[in-house]
Amino acid sequence: MDREIVFAFVNNALVTFGLFIVLELGSIIRPRLERYRPVVSGMLVSGICLAAMAMPYEVSPGLVFDTRTILVSVTGLIFGAVPTLMVTVTAAGLRILAGGAGMPAAVLSILFSAGIGLVWRHWVIRDMRDKGQAYLKIFLMGWVVHIGMILFVLSVPDGAGPVLAGQIAGPALLVYPVTSFLLSILLLHQRARHEAGNVLLAGAGNLQALFENLPISCQSLDETGTLIRVSRKWLETMGYESDEVIGRWVGDLMYEADRKGFRDRFQAFLKAGTSDTVITLLHKEGRPVTFSVKGRVIRDERGRFLHTYCALHNITQFRTDAEALLYKTRHDPMTGLYNREHFDAAVRTHLQAEDFPLTVIIGDIDGLKQTNDTFGRQQGDRQIRTAGRILSGCLREGEILARTGGDEFSILLPRTERATAYARMREMEDAFLDHAENRVSDELPLFLSLAYGTQEDASGRFEQAIREAEDYLYQRKVLVEMSPHNAVMKSIITTMNEKSYETEAHAERLVRLTGLIGIEMGLDSVQLDRLHLFSIVHDIGKVVIPDTILNKPGRLTDEEWTEMRRHPEVGYRITSASPGFSGVADLVLAHHERWDGGGYPNRLAGEAIPLLARILSVADAFDAMTAERPYRKPVPVEEAVEEIERCAGTQFDPEVALVFVGLVRNGELDAIAKTLPI
């Protein structure tokens, strides 16, 4: 391919980009002169045609080439019939005047290019939705025009046509179609920008007319947020007349609590230039209307603020439906309380915020299954709703209550230490006691066993707090007077009393004695309740020991002692198999161990013995010495105290013994002696 021909074609093709100037000048014609735009454009394009044809590439005398085919076809595609006719006449006329052997072929090429441009305008410009297809058609136009040009060149007489076609075919089919394509695409984009600009720069009257006729709610604000235009749809949606809102600050149509936030968001909108948000305005009747808002800040060519333009979509019903759906996903349908999903999400939130100590109170309705089986599920559901209502009445700010299971409720208490949690739990229990005392005649008894667990800091795990609460719950079920599980404990105590000289008063004294020691040693409420239960059931293993051994007035034989020493292990197996007592099973096993390691069954020593077992050991020994038995008289209190002191460090934990002796000598046991005489 001749490099000189290629450069000549490229240089001549660059002239055609003068069409940009034509399109730009045409865009500034005033609306009242719009009808003259095609003529003006035709004159300007004809001028560019003259320039292109004034510097052609001459292959041989009378045979010249220029970019008139590009110019004519692109004019047909972009500018329409009148400018195309004018430039076609100009180009054909000039070529006829120039004469030469190639003149007929050149005129035919001009006419062919004009026709193809106008046909493509009808084919392409009317449907630009698929940009890829449109661009392919435009590129095809350049090929068709210039393949036609090559065919017309073949008609040049004297055998010059084929030679000439061979010389120009390469550059003509490479440079001209590409130039035609690029020029067409750039002109289409330029025209699109002008059309968009004309819409934005329409006068105030046109903008107001646009607002009036838009089928959506629109509003325009000034720099202070004052309404300056609203659409008819906006007025219909909000129930106002135009003169009732134009000139008002839009914040006046909001809830007072939303106004400060709107000021901040509006300033951010002015700075960013765009907005995509949600606002709630008040209908003339006072009801809220929620809109999804997309807005832009309109500025002049110097960047000065003109106004905002916002399109508003009424999403009130959608939001109402969404909130209802969200409510259902987060709430229990029976009680209206939060559900497990919401409770778990709240736990994660407070863990991330490190709201420690993070405490959970759990509770379940005692005997709900029996209620359902005996009285039907309606009565059971009634108890669930009543329990939820009582707990709701106990809530304080920041606490979260949820129904987390069939008969289970959970209360989350952020930043709540154990002592406060215990007090809150007792308040809730009191609320259920009040309800029981004042329930209507046809209402079944209702009680909720409650317990708590605490995650002290970030080093712990909330799952462990839940487990702690569950273990404590089983323990408290057998301690709480109204709980059905309490009957199990009473039955066990009765059986134990029937088998030996141990009396219910003995169990009560142990509970009081160990409780005093535990309080003095600073045990928390969970440990105190555990100590309470342990004091009652520590000798539960004796139910398998023969009565003759239990009640023998004299010394036991070696075989009898071997049998008697089985009871801690038997008691361990009994308590560990029962959810209500499993929390004290290890204590039952260790309650006959000695500080010096001489006890049984595992010969534990020192602090290897659980603290609660060490406490009970002191209290049980004291009560055994000071209580009357059928086969012996009681030991005086002072002698019993001296025996405790003497055995401190051997049989008893010296610290526990010291605390107990101090309590006795300070008169702390007087109340026990009066209420439960020995």
pLDDT interval class at 677 (50, 70, 90): very low
Residue 27 belongs to a domain: yes
User: Which of 71-85, 487-501, 519-533, 589-603 holds the top average pLDDT?
Assistant: 589-603
Question: In this structure, what CATH number is given to the domain that contains residue 270?
Answer: 3.30.450.20
Query: Smallest Cα–Cα separation from 582: which of 523, 616, 540, 525?
Result: 540
Q: What is the pTM of this model?
A: 0.53
On whether both 393 and 515 belong to a single domain, the answer is: no
Residues constituting the chain: 678
Report residue 568 CA to chain centroid gap.
53
On whether both 56 and 91 belong to a single domain, the answer is: yes
- Distance from C-alpha of 511 to C-alpha of 82, rounded to nearest angstrom: 112
**pLDDT tens, position by position, 14-66:** 555 565 565 556 555 555 566 777 888 778 778 877 777 776 666 666 566 66
- Distance from C-alpha of 491 to C-alpha of 574, rounded to nearest angstrom: 14
- Distance from C-alpha of 258 to C-alpha of 440, rounded to nearest angstrom: 46
The predicted pLDDT at position 153 comes to: 84
Domain stops at, among 253, 287, 321: 321
Q: What amino acid occupies position 403?
A: R
On whether both 118 and 98 belong to a single domain, the answer is: yes
Residue 436 belongs to a domain: no
Q: Is 569 exposed, middle or buried (0-12, 13-18, 19+ CB in 10 A)?
A: middle
pLDDT interval class at 676 (50, 70, 90): very low
DSSP-based three-state secondary structure for 127: coil
- Distance from C-alpha of 640 to C-alpha of 665, rounded to nearest angstrom: 12
On whether both 311 and 419 belong to a single domain, the answer is: no
- Distance from C-alpha of 471 to C-alpha of 526, rounded to nearest angstrom: 10
Domain stops at, among 132, 165, 200: 200
The predicted pLDDT at position 678 comes to: 42
On whether both 158 and 77 belong to a single domain, the answer is: yes
The region that residue 101 occupies, defined by phi over 0 for left and psi between -120 and 50 for alpha, beta otherwise, is alpha
The predicted pLDDT at position 202 comes to: 47
Query: Smallest Cα–Cα separation from 538: which of 423, 467, 621?
Result: 621
On whether both 23 and 158 belong to a single domain, the answer is: yes
Query: Which CA distances in Å does 342 have to 142, 353, 373, 532?
Result: 66, 16, 30, 36
Residue with the bigger pLDDT between 586 and 38: it is 586
pLDDT interval class at 675 (50, 70, 90): very low
Residue with the bigger pLDDT between 422 and 301: it is 422
Residue 88 belongs to a domain: yes
**pLDDT tens, position by position, 423-451:** 999 999 999 999 988 888 778 889 899 99
For the chain, helix (H) and strand (E) counts, in that order, are 29, 11
Query: Which CA distances in Å does 509 have to 91, 482, 605, 622, 668?
Result: 124, 21, 26, 10, 13
Residue with the bigger pLDDT between 458 and 12: it is 458
The predicted pLDDT at position 63 comes to: 62
Question: In this structure, what CATH number is given to the domain that contains residue 413?
Answer: 3.30.70.270
Residue 438 belongs to a domain: no
The predicted pLDDT at position 256 comes to: 92
On whether both 501 and 535 belong to a single domain, the answer is: yes
The predicted pLDDT at position 489 comes to: 62
Domain that holds residue 141: 3-200
Residue 369 belongs to a domain: no
Question: In this structure, what CATH number is given to the domain that contains residue 594?
Answer: 1.10.3210.10
- Distance from C-alpha of 590 to C-alpha of 611, rounded to nearest angstrom: 10
Query: Smallest Cα–Cα separation from 533: which of 608, 452, 472, 622?
Result: 472
Domain stops at, among 200, 233, 256: 200
Q: Collect all residues with Cβ–Cβ distance below 8 Å to 661 and sequence separation of at least 6.
A: 641, 644, 645
Domain count, the chain: 4
Lowest mean pLDDT among 56-60, 94-98, 235-239: 56-60
Residues of the chain with pLDDT > 90: what percent? 47
On whether both 191 and 298 belong to a single domain, the answer is: no
Mean pLDDT of 537-549: 88
Per-residue pLDDT for 399 more than 80? yes
The predicted pLDDT at position 39 comes to: 84
Q: Which two tokens stand for residue 55?
A: 């510097």
The predicted pLDDT at position 223 comes to: 92
Please measure the distance between the N-terminal and C-terminal CA atoms of the chain and give it in whole angstroms: 127
- Distance from C-alpha of 87 to C-alpha of 76, rounded to nearest angstrom: 10
pLDDT interval class at 248 (50, 70, 90): very high
The predicted pLDDT at position 356 comes to: 96
pLDDT interval class at 193 (50, 70, 90): low
**pLDDT tens, position by position, 114-127:** 999 899 888 776 66
Mean pLDDT of 650-666: 95
- Distance from C-alpha of 289 to C-alpha of 250, rounded to nearest angstrom: 13
The predicted pLDDT at position 669 comes to: 75
Mean pLDDT of 587-611: 97
The predicted pLDDT at position 435 comes to: 93
Per-residue pLDDT for 535 more than 70? yes
What is the torsional sign of CA 189, 190, 193, 194?
negative
On whether both 307 and 218 belong to a single domain, the answer is: yes
On whether both 547 and 646 belong to a single domain, the answer is: yes
- Distance from C-alpha of 648 to C-alpha of 75, rounded to nearest angstrom: 115
Residue with the bigger pLDDT between 27 and 260: it is 260
On whether both 418 and 536 belong to a single domain, the answer is: no
Per-residue pLDDT for 209 more than 90? no
Residue 275 belongs to a domain: yes
Residue 444 belongs to a domain: no
- Distance from C-alpha of 540 to C-alpha of 550, rounded to nearest angstrom: 13
On whether both 470 and 499 belong to a single domain, the answer is: no
Residue 400 belongs to a domain: yes
Mean pLDDT of 271-275: 93
- DSSP, residue by residue, 297-318: EEE-TT--EEEEEEEEEE-HHH
pLDDT interval class at 509 (50, 70, 90): confident
